[in-house]
Every structure is written in C-alpha cells, then in structure tokens.
C-alpha cells in the first residue's frame, strides 16, 4: 500500500514527476489517487518515497526494470502544476533584526553555487544533443535554476547587498561533466538531493520568515529536479545496449561522491568551504541524507542498497 502523510508534504511535485498515475499534486498537498498497477509503477512509487524531501511517502521497496518511454511531457506538466512565483515571496517584509552577517554570507554563497547551471546547460545541450526528451527538459531546469539565485539575491537586496556581472560570470565556471551520460545524470540526482536537503535545513534553522519561505520553495524544486534526473537516468539505462555498464557507472559516481575526504568538486560541495557561517553549515551538513541517497541510486540500478553497502565489493562482484 502506498501512503502520503499530507501534513509533511511541501508539494514539491517530485512524487508525481516519478509516478504520475499514482500521485496527484493538483491540490494543496500530494495524495495517492490509486495503488500502483504494474511493477514499473510500484518501482516508481518506491523511488518517489526515496526522493520525497520530507519523507512523507510510504511505499514498499519494489525493484523493476525501467521503461524507455519519454518523460519530458509528464515532467513539464508537474513543474507547471507546482510552480511558485516570485511575487509569492514578501520580500518587503524581511525582518532584518533577526539576521546575522554570517547568515547573509551563507545565502550569498548558496546563490553563487546556483550559477553554474548556465555552463551545465550548455554542456547538456551539447553532450546530449541527440536526446530530444532531455534537452527539452533542460529549458525548464535552467529557468528554475535561474530563479533560485534570483530569489536569494532579492532577499539580500533588502539589506542593501548587491552583486555585479563579474560575480555572476565567475559563478558560471564549468562544473565537471563525465564521459558517461549515466554518470552525469547520477551526479545531478545526487547534487539535487543534497541541495534539497540543504535548503530545507536552511528553512528549518533560519530565524527570518521570508528566508524560511525561500528555503522551502528551493528545497522543493531541487527535490523535483532530483526526481527528473532520476527519470532520465532510468530511461537512459533502459535504452542502453548494456544496462549493467550504465549501472556500474552510477555506482562509481555514488562511490566517488561519498568516499572519504574526496567529495566531488561540485558547486554544492564547494560552497560549504567558502562560508564563515560554520554553525549554519554544520546544521545543514548534519542533514546530509546519505542513506536515502544510497537507497535512491539503488532504486535506479534495481539494487537494494543502503548507506552501509560496500560499493567497491558490490561493483567487483555484481557488475564486472
């Protein structure tokens, strides 16, 4: 049985992006419209439970071979359904008295780490040029990822802070891309899940109400982005000549991301090192959903992983 705890839902649309027949987010909170009917839907509901940023979903662990069907139209529809607007955020009501300089710096760094989407978009359009389904989605992603620093900078503007074009251009430096398309997609699943957890931790710990509202919306968007890259990665694996090679690439990325002190030089990780707001950063880091990320990449690869899985042994054993 699949269930949603409505009181925990932040209506990010991640669940409906992965299993549109099972979840519906057209109302204020997500709900289950019907039980999954096929193994593919059961597996998608399981993935939704893992990607859900507030752990609001209960669904049995089911693993099933992915489908090669296009996903853009469904992802586009869900993105439109849950879209929030800048005018929903009451910037003029920002309570400056409760904000420390370190918190402002944290917000500025978070905004900076968003800017790399510009170069990533370019790379996606080039490297995945033959993938019409994905490249159409990138337009939605780029729009939403441009909105994120825009919202954070609007919040900072209330304190008289501004940035210039040079700052923006510096943030656009290329993020690492991999030869393996699955590797690139999985990097994005993980970084979106980390970004989502970070923004929601920021929302929970921020003393300023408008910043809390921004953190919740951005955290929701990032979770839906993770769901979207998950859908594309599943489709990519389904279409591959040798799916096991793709699965191994996925596990490699998971291993690299979490192997000791070798955190991938991804903007999401780099931003932790650049800020003085170490109390806030510690709170955010404590929320790192490592176990959930392992399970999610396991769901992608049809493997029951968890945070304790020895990935090296697994790669040697199962996926030579």
Residues forming contacts to ligand SF4 in the complex (CB under 6 A) are 4, 9-15, 23, 25, 30, 52-54, 56-57
CB 240 within 8 A of CB 232: no
By a kind-dependent CB cut-off of 5 to 8 A, residue 72 interacts, out of Fe ion, ligand SF4, none, with none
By a kind-dependent CB cut-off of 5 to 8 A, residue 187 interacts, out of Fe ion, ligand SF4, none, with none
CB 86 within 8 A of CB 247: no
Compute φ and ψ for 32, nearest 5 degrees: -90, 120
Q: Which stretch binds Fe ion (CB under 5 A): 36-44, 152-160, 222-230, 268-276?
A: 222-230
**131, 222, 246, 249: residue in contact with Fe ion (rule CB under 5 A):** 222
Report, in Å, the least distance between residue 285 CB and Fe ion: 18
Helices (H) and strands (E) in the chain, counts: 14, 4
By a kind-dependent CB cut-off of 5 to 8 A, residue 54 interacts, out of Fe ion, ligand SF4, none, with ligand SF4
Q: Whose Cβ is closer to ligand SF4: residue 54's or residue 118's? A: 54
Q: How far apart are CA 249 and CA 60, in angstroms?
A: 26
By a kind-dependent CB cut-off of 5 to 8 A, residue 145 interacts, out of Fe ion, ligand SF4, none, with Fe ion
Exposure pattern of 256-295 as b/e (b: 16+ CB <10 Å)?
Answer: bbbeeeebbebbbebbbeebebeebbeebeebebeebbbb
Binding status of residue 225 toward Fe ion by CB under 5 A: yes
Helix (H) or strand (E) holding 32: strand 31-32
Report, in Å, the least distance between residue 215 CB and Fe ion: 11
Number of residues engaging Fe ion in binding (CB under 5 A): 6
CB 219 within 8 A of CB 199: yes
CB 208 within 8 A of CB 33: no
Binding status of residue 148 toward Fe ion by CB under 5 A: yes
Q: How far apart are CA 57 and CA 18, in angstroms?
A: 13
Q: Whose Cβ is closer to ligand SF4: residue 25's or residue 303's? A: 25
By a kind-dependent CB cut-off of 5 to 8 A, residue 10 interacts, out of Fe ion, ligand SF4, none, with ligand SF4
Binding status of residue 109 toward Fe ion by CB under 5 A: no
CB 268 within 8 A of CB 113: yes
Q: How far apart are CA 28 and CA 86, in angstroms?
A: 18
Report, in Å, the least distance between residue 113 CB and ligand SF4: 22
Report, in Å, the least distance between residue 4 CB and ligand SF4: 5
Binding status of residue 147 toward Fe ion by CB under 5 A: no
By a kind-dependent CB cut-off of 5 to 8 A, residue 148 interacts, out of Fe ion, ligand SF4, none, with Fe ion
By a kind-dependent CB cut-off of 5 to 8 A, residue 277 interacts, out of Fe ion, ligand SF4, none, with none
Measured at the CA of 280, the angle between CA 279 and CA 282, to 5 degrees, comes to 65
Report, in Å, the least distance between residue 2 CB and ligand SF4: 10
Report, in Å, the least distance between residue 286 CB and ligand SF4: 20
Q: At what angle do helices 290-301 and 209-239 cross, to 10 degrees?
A: 30
Q: Whose Cβ is closer to Fe ion: residue 145's or residue 246's? A: 145
Q: Whose Cβ is closer to ligand SF4: residue 195's or residue 251's? A: 195
Report, in Å, the least distance between residue 127 CB and Fe ion: 18
Residues in the chain: 320
What is the CB neighbour count within 10 angstroms for residue 312?
Answer: 12
């Amino acid at each position: 049985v699949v269930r949603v705890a409505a009181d925990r839902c932040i209506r990010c649309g991640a669940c409906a992006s992965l299993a549109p027949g099972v979840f519906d987010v057209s109302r204020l909170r997500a709900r289950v419209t019907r039980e999954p009917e096929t193994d593919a839907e059961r597996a998608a509901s399981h993935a939704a439970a893992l990607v859900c940023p507030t752990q609001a979903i209960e669904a049995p662990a089911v693993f099933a071979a992915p489908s090669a069907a296009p996903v853009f139209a469904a992802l586009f529809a869900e993105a439109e359904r849950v879209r929030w607007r800048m005018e929903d955020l009451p910037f003029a009501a920002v309570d400056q008295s409760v904000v420390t300089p370190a918190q402002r710096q944290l917000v500025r760094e978070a905004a900076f780490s968003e800017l790399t989407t510009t170069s990533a978009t370019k790379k996606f359009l080039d490297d995945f040029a033959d993938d019409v389904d994905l490249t159409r989605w990138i337009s939605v992603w780029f729009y939403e990822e441009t909105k994120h620093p825009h919202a954070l900078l609007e919040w900072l503007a209330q304190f008289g802070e501004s940035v210039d074009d040079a700052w923006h251009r510096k943030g656009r430096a290329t993020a690492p891309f991999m030869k393996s398309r699955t590797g690139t997609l999985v990097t994005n699943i993980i970084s979106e899940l980390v970004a989502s957890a970070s923004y929601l931790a920021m929302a929970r710990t921020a003393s300023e109400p408008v910043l809390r509202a921004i953190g919740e919306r951005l955290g929701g968007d990032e979770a839906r982005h993770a769901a979207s890259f998950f859908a594309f990665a599943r489709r990519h694996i389904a279409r591959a000549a040798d799916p096991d090679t793709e699965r191994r690439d996925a596990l490699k990325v998971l291993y690299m991301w979490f192997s000791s002190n070798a955190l991938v030089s991804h903007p999401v990780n780099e931003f932790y090192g650049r800020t003085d707001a170490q109390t806030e950063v510690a709170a955010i880091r404590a929320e790192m959903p490592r176990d959930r990320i392992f399970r999610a990449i396991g769901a992608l690869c049809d493997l029951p992983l968890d945070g304790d899985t020895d990935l090296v042994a697994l790669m040697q054993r199962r996926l030579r």
